[in-house]
Structure 1
């Protein structure tokens, strides 16, 4: 076993597997992964601070670490999950004609004053001045910035529309009481898209396209999100929908038709509405975590910045706009909140930091004497050759001083979708591996070929 572990080399940095002289992928060792496990503790919470399942599990699992009120370090496994989620979002945004860009986090105060939001948002904005006394805010959203960008294109033609521009960036909001970990923080990741169209009809088409892409996204993630009618708030516009993930910890109160005909945030309703306006069924109450929000803006911002295009008659017309947000870091936490058990993380399979955890025999055990570790490595090599997209999705729990049972329990808590164990079955002929399908809650006993066939169904972004 010692000789075998000597051939399993950890990566120097980042999360890509190193390669040996023959070009074969090398293991990522759990002992070398920067993920400080504190699986028995309650987490780094202050006295009396409210907590929720996702916050507690993410702290215990070494996925996040507090960096100040409402701010967190995202540790390597969490960043892997975040980047995978962004990859899935990119696919959906490209499918509706989205073009990705990046805008500055520093937003000039005069832009926000022109739209009226400098005063309206009040203390929610992080405000600062440069050495010349010029005012800025750290952008919680970028309607003003993107509209100014498009307005600077002074010869924009109707032929170039629709424009659907989006970014994935850090956003900032001075929450008075940040809580629940990544569900309500002061610094967070958001995907924000902005559409520019030639008419109100075309803009509503863009709106509907993006809303449909959000529904597809949450379906792919296996999250039971519901689109509800919502208030337009400080962003403005005439139509708005929130994408809500039902959860007890949710801060929004929802009313839902049991047949799906009606859904609304209660803050949009006047008076007491108890039945569905379409089918008459009694509405059910739920709480939800807002993970997405869409707005039809009309010309609210294009009129302020004079964002115009030239019509077929060569006349300037104001662009009709929409904006569409997804809380990227909030989706991560919300998915853990609703999919996990009280003591074990469950990820949407598509974005789990690592798809596979391999557990070799305990040091000095009969399974080690029967070359169980070598058999596990052979399985990994066969897997990397047959399914190369999974080669970088595997982590080896090399803490062989611990029992297989202890390491399997830790793997269950950390939420690897599949755990492959070189247990008692490797002493059989032919050798059999114990494979835990965490999300299905079942254990299988498979040969090398059976393991490869099972894992061939695993999808990665």
Structure 2
């Protein structure tokens, strides 16, 4: 490819709306252009990178015995209704109707669709099966941002395993875990495998592959000793034991007319936050529910959803709260409350001499004994872990880092095969619902994660395995026949030797050519100039280190291959 023919509209200034490094650089370097919020056109350079990422993934999926499919992106609503997810997915699902009035959806994921194909498996002798595809997914993100990191239309590699028994699922899950580790290592994406919530996917277990980056919207809790890592939605930590003191024989009311927050109660009345019971009111699957937290702890809503198995949970509206409890937020409590479910965080178990709202505006209760005074219906780990808390495995202070999810693997169980009528005859002749796993990688998000972790002040630094071109031959002094002839020979020789090479034959200033090569991030640059050829040499520049060496023309091709680790 010649740069004079390549469509790569580079920009000299950062786009005004770009926050993440990958967003800024992929726009500036001419890889992507936004059509509308959450929808991006991939230009030729991006298509080349995407193809390389897909090929790495395809090779590793083939290595574990997976077979490639291509399934429709437009789905009938009936299949999603049978699994129960037509309602669960809510506003994130793009829905439409065809000319006959049939309800349809643009696929967010393909568990249901692959399960319908699995109806033809018939016998346990055809198990296990590992199936995968690369397909466009659609999710109506409420706040698409950060370029390719959070979009509404993207390519996913999604794969699915079908096994006869849990032991088979364990094997398929571990095959994918190992494949994902190899994939991200080959792509140059540093990842941490963390425990995670299964969310709307369901199932018994899931692991996220998280790439640490300031542009990420997820928080990962990890132990520096390396024995624990979890998404904040799943993370736990040890809590220091608390000595509460003798307490009171019964709760005692006291006036708090100007204290409506945890901090105000602490400052005005000397009640430390860790001795307060914070009462949150949620509507869980249509039913008003009290959620109790220690005053200095934050609720993780996903933990609430997981603990209750809820399809939908939201904070209650003020009018709903007043109608049910007779007071406004800031004076709420669960003492004496009957008829409403009460869910409490484990940090409140066996606590006494606590303070909480009295369900009368401007009044609180002191001396509350949780076991004695509150009818807790369910206990669960609901709180958000914070940095410095002890690791649940070894006690080392935990750290919290920002990250972006680049892969996610799930043990689904039989939820989808049961719902969609997938049955095989087992060894004893009885019908069995196969057990499923689901495994995803966002292709364009992986591209963005590569840029997030491989860039400098001059632009992108693509790893060789995914670079749009492995080398660029930069032609200076284009009016010099010897320079042009040598550049053309190097270009042809590298291409013949299997190097994916670009010839920069544009009529541009040397500085502009060098800046573009660095911005685009091509791993190796060969500069051919009149001055260099006078000494029988060309310059070879390593994009990653930005080191330039002078080499004889005759050795240039071999030196390029060596830099690229090519035979």
TM-score interval, smaller chain: 0.7 to 0.9
- The offset of 1:132, in angstroms, is 0.9
Q: Which moved more, 1:376-385 or 1:155-164?
A: 376-385
Match for residue 164 of structure 1 among 102, 116, 130: 130
1:338–1:63: structure 2 CA closer, same or farther, 3 Å change rule?
A: same
The residue aligned with 1:407 is 513
1:84 shift after superposition: 0.9
1:446 corresponds to 2:547: no
Alpha-carbon deviation of 1:425?
5.3
Structure 2 residue runs of 5 or longer lacking an equivalent are 236-380
Q: How many pairs align? A: 416
Equivalent residue, structure 1, for 2:211: 245
Normalised by the length of structure 1, the TM-score is 0.87
Match of 2:233, SS? helix
Contact 2:478–2:505, Cα closer than 8 Å, also in 1: no
1:61 to 10, 24, 29: 29
Alignment partner, residue 434 of structure 1: 539
Which residue does the alignment assign to 2:485?
374
Instruction: State the distance in 1 between where 2:486 and 2:30 align.
Output: 30
Counterpart of 2:168 in structure 1 is 202
CA 1:214–1:459: 2 relative to 1, 3 Å: farther
Partner residue in 1 for 2:151:
185
In 2: Cα distance, 1:50 partner to 1:437 partner? 28
* Residue of structure 1 in register with 2:525 after alignment: 419
- Aligned mates of 2:554, 2:213 — CA distance in 1: 40
Q: Aligned equivalents of 2:73 and 2:152: distance in 1?
A: 14
Match of 1:300 in 2: 415
The structure that has the greater radius of gyration is 2
1:174 aligns with: 140
Q: Distance in 1 between matches of 2:115 and 2:81?
A: 14
Name the structure where strand makes up a greater proportion of residues: 2
Question: Where do 1:287-436 residues align within 5 Å?
Answer: 287-364=402-479, 368=480, 371-385=482-496, 387=497, 389-390=498-499, 393-400=500-507, 402-423=508-529, 426-429=532-535, 431-436=536-541
Please give the alpha-carbon distance, in whole angstroms, between the structure 2 residues aligned to 1:284 and 1:441. Answer: 33
Contact 2:494 2:501 in 1 (8 A): no
Evaluate the alpha carbon distance shift between residue 50 and residue 41 of structure 1 in structure 2; reply closer, same or farther with a 3 A threshold: closer
2:213–2:404 CA contact under 8 A, matched in 1: yes
Residues 357-389 of structure 1, C-alpha deviations (whole Å, 9 max, x = no match): 11112345xxx36x122112222233334x1x2
Distance 2:67 2:509 in 1: 50
2: CA distance, partners of 1:252 / 1:424: 52
2:59 alignment partner in structure 1: 91
Matched residue, 2:107: 139
- Cα displacement (A) at 1:36: 1.6
Supply the distance in 1 between the matched residues of 2:502 and 2:555 (Cα, whole angstroms).
Answer: 20
- Which residue matches 1:11? none
Q: Is the 8 Å Cα contact of residues 67 and 130 (structure 2) preserved in structure 1?
A: yes
Q: In structure 1, which of residues 33, 52, 62 is the aligned counterpart of residue 6 of structure 2?
A: 33
Which whole-Å CA distance do the structure 1 matches of 2:61 and 2:454 have between them?
25
Q: Is the 1:362–1:403 contact (alpha carbons within 8 Å) kept by the matching residues of 2?
A: no
Measured against aligned partners, the alpha-carbon deviations of 1:384-439 in whole angstroms (never above 9, x if no partner) come to 34x1x21xx11111123x3323311221111010110013553344x111011101
Secondary structure of 2:438's counterpart equals: strand
Show structure 1 runs of 5+ residues with no match. Answer: 1-27
**CA–CA distance in structure 1, aligned partners of residues 182 and 91 of structure 2:** 36
Q: Where does structure 1 differ by over 4 angstroms across 4 or more consecutive aligned residues?
A: none
Distance (Å, rounded) in 2 between the aligned partners of 1:453 and 1:427: 18
User: Does the aligned pair in 2 maintain the 1:425–1:433 contact within 8 Å?
Assistant: no
Distance 2:394 2:537 in 1: 55
Once residues 173 and 553 of structure 2 are traced to their aligned partners in structure 1, the CA distance between those partners, rounded to angstroms, is: 49
Secondary structure, aligned partner of 1:301? helix
Separation in structure 2 between the aligned mates of residue 176 and residue 83 of structure 1, nearest angstrom:
29
Q: In 2 relative to 1, CA 192–75 (structure 1 residues): closer, same or farther, beyond 3 Å?
A: same
SS of residue paired to 2:57: helix
> Does the residue aligned with 1:306 lie in a helix, a strand or coil?
coil
2:18–2:24 contact (8 Å) kept in structure 1 = no
Deviation at 1:346, TM superposition (A): 1.6
1:448 shift after superposition: 3.2
> SS state of the match for residue 409, structure 1?
helix
